[in-house]
Amino acid sequence: MNLTSKSVSRLFSSRLRLSALRSASERHSSSSTASTIGISQSTLEESKNVDSVLSVPTFFKRDLQNTELFNKNITPPREAWLENFDSLERRKLNVIELHPKVFGAFPRPDLIQLNHWWQTRYGQVDWLWFRTRAELAGSQKKPWQQKGTGRARHGSITAPQWIHGGWSHGPRGPRSHFFMLPFFTRVRGLIACLSAKFAQNDLKIVDTLEKFPSDDSKFLLEFVDKRGWGPSVLIVDKNDIFPRNIALASEDINHINLMPVYGLNVYSMLKHETLVLTLAAVEEIESKLLYQLTRNDLKEVINKFKAPYIGHQPKVF
Amino acid sequence: MFALKNPFAVSSANRTEDGTREHVEKLPPYPTFTKEERRYIYKGIIEEEATLRDKPTPPIEANPNEAPFDEIYADGPNRGNFTEVEVLTAKRPELWFWVERLLKTNISPNPVRTDQTSPTGYVPPPEQPPNLPYFVARTRSKLLPVYKVVQGENYQFPDKQPKIKRGPEVFTQIQRIDGDLRQLERDLRGWLEQKHSKRILSAVNEYKGTLKLAGDFVFDVVRWLEEQGF
């Protein structure tokens, strides 16, 4: 068998590497999760004995913040699977609780739409510019004499009542559409969008991105396909420096994107079908949004995130 | 008729008190230079400015390996020029509490319920929510979210109220409701109607989780919610 470098790499990527990585992932799946998530060793030993895929995993208890905001009997904490990110095979590591005021709120479509409208609108610049009679090229001469011709009196052929004349009060120059939505409309829009994603089963939670086994984009596509995730995936982590493998694998795929928590927005969540959050990202998002829901200095916040007044801009048409 | 202004009259602006004309000095004519002269002046001015501007400032000689600058290193000599710092939080972390209570916070703390009643009549939120099919959460400032809504009130121009008024003008709105809104409406409205012995209109907004009552019942509603245990 004549092995070229290409065929070797293909073979390696498809079979050998996968099997090797699978065994490797199985080997350190037990120790790895403990360090990152903070599960006690006793729970891990219990979960090691039973089959990892079909068994009911041990319940991972998170201490939810701001429990005074909801009643557990009416709006119970939402529960989600914690999945692995280190192999093709899907393993449910745990069940985690999510705050009902962040992930289980009423999915207000009006707030989502407002946020989407703002995000698409505020960067637009209207470049439309019509020439006035002063800016038109052509003769400034009186077209015919005032009296004696029997025709209407006119002073210039560039006057606005003339065809091909100048425009009076037309659109003038670059006009900014920049504005800001109210701060708490944006906060509630994020909450509404996260809740909608969770209700549609489009929100997946994984332990870490550190142990993603390959830097091959084909492997990532296969991975996403096997998990049953939507073709477009947005992967969100707490830090903005991502691990090498996942960064390289997703580099050439336009519909699989990485984003840190501070960049999470409504438009991107709508753009991608599946939203994948790491556990660290979930905790960061929850704590940040709950802080916004409970903070007391509204006046300062509202004034701080207002758009500056840049003068009156007349409406075009 | 009307008096015309004399165009030949001399204005008194340039005249002194004696009536004599003020002597106005004529400015000398603007100097004219040839092209070469102008170029020379221009160049000379620029060069002069450049020499002034680009004159290098003498560098401050600060060698960190020599005195007195060698004190900046941790293992350098200590001549007592710097204030000494002792990190206590590593040894005694419980001391940080005393700093933390002086810092400004954005989040108001959860007040604890006691047997004593406050002079304002404020009731702190409960530790456990009541066993009811609905729940009313407290606001950011730990108050009950009951508001008086006045329709058609012009705050900017209070004198310019609308002449024709349709329907009720004052409402009571309860916000931040979870769970069975209809049950809350039935319970609350029944209690209020019995108390005031009149019919009260109400509307439920499940989309926002709010309940609106026609009429000003803010204090009644707050008292009722406190009795329920919210």
Q: For A264-301, write each residue's pLDDT tens digit.
A: 999 999 999 999 999 999 999 999 999 999 999 998 88
Q: Give B79-102 pLDDT, tens digit per residue.
A: 888 888 888 888 888 988 998 889
DSSP for A69-81 reads GS-TTTSPPEEEE
* Per-domain boundaries in chain A: 65-122+181-309, 127-133+155-177
CA–CA gap between residue A297 and residue B131 (Å, rounded):
32
Beta-carbon separation of B140 and A70 below 8 A: no
Beta-carbon separation of B106 and A296 below 8 A: yes
CA–CA gap between residue B105 and residue A297 (Å, rounded):
9
Q: Where do the domains of chain B lie, and which CATH numbers do they carry?
A: 134-156+167-228 (3.30.780.10)
DSSP for A99-144 reads -TTTTSS---HHHHHHHHHHHHHTT-EE------TTT--S--S-SS
* Local confidence band at B39 (pLDDT 50, 70, 90 cut-offs): confident
Mean pLDDT, all residues of chain A: 83
Query: Any idea which of A8-17, A64-73, A96-105, B141-150 has the lowest mean pLDDT?
Result: A8-17
Q: What is the dihedral of CA B177, B181, B187, B191, to 10 degrees?
A: 60
Rounded to whole angstroms, the maximal C-alpha distance in chain B is 105
Put simply, whether B128 touches A (Cβ < 8 Å) is no
* Local confidence band at A306 (pLDDT 50, 70, 90 cut-offs): confident
In the predicted model, what is the mean pLDDT of residues A180-198? Answer: 96
CA–CA gap between residue B219 and residue B199 (Å, rounded):
18
Q: Calculate how close chain B gets to A298, using CA atoms only, in Å.
A: 9
pLDDT of residue A44: 46
- Cβ pair B14, B22 in contact under 8 A: yes
CA–CA gap between residue A282 and residue B43 (Å, rounded):
67
- Cβ pair A98, A66 in contact under 8 A: no
Mean pLDDT, all residues of chain B: 84
Q: Give B103-137 pLDDT, tens digit per residue.
A: 888 898 888 888 888 898 899 999 899 999 999 99
- Looking at per-residue confidence, does A304 or A133 come out higher? A133
Count the Cβ atoms, other than its own, within 10 Å of residue B124: 13
Pick the CATH number of A65-122+181-309 from 3.40.1370.10, 3.40.50.720, 3.50.50.60, 3.40.190.10: 3.40.1370.10
3-state secondary structure of A93: strand
pLDDT of residue B160: 72
pLDDT of residue B5: 60
Q: In what order do the strands lie in the sheet with B170-174?
A: B146-150, B170-174, B210-214, B202-205
- Which of B131, B138, B209 minimises the CB distance to A68? B138
- Cβ pair B219, B195 in contact under 8 A: no
In the predicted model, what is the mean pLDDT of residues A38-57? Answer: 44
Q: Give A114-138 pLDDT, tens digit per residue.
A: 999 999 999 999 899 999 999 998 8
Beta-carbon separation of A74 and B133 below 8 A: yes
Residue whose C-alpha is closest to residue B226's, from B110, B165, B140, B143? B143
Residues of chain A positioned with their CB less than 8 A from the CB of B140? 293-296, 298
Query: Any idea which of A47-51, A118-122, B221-225 has the lowest mean pLDDT?
Result: A47-51
pLDDT of residue A279: 93
Put simply, whether B129 touches A (Cβ < 8 Å) is yes
Put simply, whether B149 touches A (Cβ < 8 Å) is no
Instruction: Report whether pLDDT(A313) > 80.
Output: no
Residues of chain A positioned with their CB less than 8 A from the CB of B228? none
Q: Rounded to the nearest 5 degrees, what angle is found at the Cα of B134, between the Cα atoms of B130 and B142? A: 65
Residues of chain B positioned with their CB less than 8 A from the CB of A72? 129
What is the identity of the amino acid at A272?
H
Q: Calculate how close chain B gets to A218, using CA atoms only, in Å.
A: 44
- Looking at per-residue confidence, does A43 or B161 come out higher? B161
- Closest Cα in chain B to A295: B107
Beta-carbon separation of A296 and B134 below 8 A: no
Count the Cβ atoms, other than its own, within 10 Å of residue A123: 9
- What global pTM score does this model have? 0.71
In the predicted model, what is the mean pLDDT of residues B45-59? Answer: 71
Residues 6+ apart with CB under 8 A from B104: none
pLDDT of residue B78: 85
What percent of chain B is modeled with pLDDT above 90? Answer: 38
Residue whose C-alpha is closest to residue A72's, from A99, A95, A96, A94? A99
The tokens describing B209, both together, are 């989780």
Instruction: Report whether pLDDT(B55) > 80.
Output: no
DSSP for B176-228 reads -EEE-HHHHHHHHHHHHHHHHTS---EEEETTTTEEEEES--HHHHHHHHHHH
In the predicted model, what is the mean pLDDT of residues A179-199? Answer: 95
Q: Calculate how close chain B gets to A69, using CA atoms only, in Å.
A: 6
pLDDT of residue B87: 84
Q: Are strands B134-136 and B177-179 parallel, antiparallel or unpaired?
A: antiparallel
Q: Which of A296, A297, A304 would best serve as a mutation to test chain B binding (most B beta carbons within 10 A)?
A: A296
Residues of chain B positioned with their CB less than 8 A from the CB of A195? none
pLDDT of residue A233: 97
- Cβ pair B219, B187 in contact under 8 A: no
The tokens describing A111, both together, are 């707030």
pLDDT of residue A17: 39
- Which of A75, A294, A296 minimises the CB distance to B178? A75
- Closest Cα in chain B to A299: B106
pLDDT of residue A102: 97
3-state secondary structure of A303: helix
Instruction: Report whether pLDDT(A107) > 50.
Output: yes
CA–CA gap between residue A251 and residue A217 (Å, rounded):
8
- Cβ pair B159, B177 in contact under 8 A: no
Beta-carbon separation of A74 and B106 below 8 A: no
Instruction: Report whether pLDDT(A36) > 90.
Output: no
pLDDT of residue B86: 84
CA–CA gap between residue A179 and residue A37 (Å, rounded):
41
The tokens describing A17, both together, are 């590497």
In the predicted model, what is the mean pLDDT of residues B28-41? Answer: 79
